[in-house]
Amino acid sequence: MTSIKNPIFRTEDLCAYYRDFMAIKHVTVSIPEKKVTAVMGPSGCGKTTFIRCLNRLHELTPGARITGKIYLRDKDILKMDPIVVRRKVGMVFQRPNPFPTMTIYENVLAGYKLLGIRLPKEVADRIVEDALRKAALWDEVKDVLHRRGTFLSGGQQQRLCIARALAVKPEVLLMDEPTSALDPKATLQIENLIVELKSTVTIVIVTHNMPQAGRISDYTAFFYLGELIEFGPTAEVFTNPKDPRTEEYLTGKFS
């Protein structure tokens, strides 16, 4: 496996279980900072479970547990308050999920509300504008901030969810197939946004879309049956895979 200097994330012998089923098997990997890392592999191979371990969402599932170590900047996140972890490590899900009863403005600030943090209006206004600008959405919604988030198109809703995650200033943004429910135009907008965002935040993205991984990611992790089979620079993994299983997946032998 490729060695990464000063990684933002580091796992050691990470295993994740759903009761007796081991979904992630002894994964040791380092995730580089301010890069895009694509997590790929066939359906059911553990991709989503892996990233849900990185912000301790996995353990919210009844019967789920984790063994091994997960370090965020050399701090063991399994010994940290999960709320602190999730503030540092945001998540964007497969389907856009703005809170339906909240306005666009309120959606962006939802993380602060969940944390019980009250903000002066001028601070809140600044955070909302900054997050929406980072999500490339400000110009489209600045005049309708007090309409419900669900009034937006699917691609806009997903960018709103990205703005909501960015508002609390995370160090890492996890994305679980964030464009799979979107049309090609909205997908391209999200891809361009991801490339722009990596200058300020580390991104780990689960994707089934190999061309997408090739376009936007700097590193690729290939999972198969819960094991990390291969990890390295995307160009190397795609053009010169070291494991035959990676090559079979990339050439469409299995999916």
- DSSP letters spanning 162-199: HHHHHHT--SEEEEESTTTTS-HHHHHHHHHHHHHHTT
Q: Examine residue 255 and state whether it is found in any structural domain, yes or no.
A: no
**What per-residue confidence (pLDDT) applies to 1?**
64
Q: Would you call 233 helix, strand, or coil by DSSP?
A: strand
User: Which amino acid would we find at residue 187?
Assistant: T
- How many domains does the chain fold into? 1
Q: Examine residue 4 and state whether it is found in any structural domain, yes or no.
A: no
Q: Examine residue 171 and state whether it is found in any structural domain, yes or no.
A: yes
Q: Examine residue 3 and state whether it is found in any structural domain, yes or no.
A: no
Instruction: Please report, for residues 16, 38, 211, the alpha-carbon distance to residue 48 in angstroms, rounded to integers and kept in the order given.
Output: 11, 12, 19
Q: Each residue's pLDDT tens digit in the chain (255 positions)?
A: 677 888 999 999 999 999 999 999 999 999 999 999 999 999 999 999 999 999 999 999 999 999 999 999 989 999 999 999 999 999 999 999 999 999 999 999 999 998 889 999 999 999 999 999 999 999 999 999 999 999 999 999 999 999 999 999 999 999 999 999 899 999 999 999 999 999 999 999 999 999 999 999 999 999 999 999 999 999 999 999 999 999 999 998 766
Question: Residue 134 in contact with residue 166, Cβ under 8 Å?
Answer: yes
Q: Examine residue 18 and state whether it is found in any structural domain, yes or no.
A: yes
DSSP element (H, E) containing 21:
strand 21-31
Q: Examine residue 2 and state whether it is found in any structural domain, yes or no.
A: no
Q: What does the alpha-carbon distance between residue 38 and residue 222 come to, in Å, rounded to a whole number? A: 8
Q: Examine residue 218 and state whether it is found in any structural domain, yes or no.
A: yes
**Whole-structure pTM value:** 0.94
Q: Is 218 exposed, middle or buried (0-12, 13-18, 19+ CB in 10 A)?
A: middle
**Host domain of residue 19:** 9-250
The CATH number linked to 61 is: 3.40.50.300
**What per-residue confidence (pLDDT) applies to 227?**
98
Q: Is 8 exposed, middle or buried (0-12, 13-18, 19+ CB in 10 A)?
A: buried
CA-based nearest residue to 152, from 124, 130, 132, 125? 132
User: Which amino acid would we find at residue 137?
Assistant: L
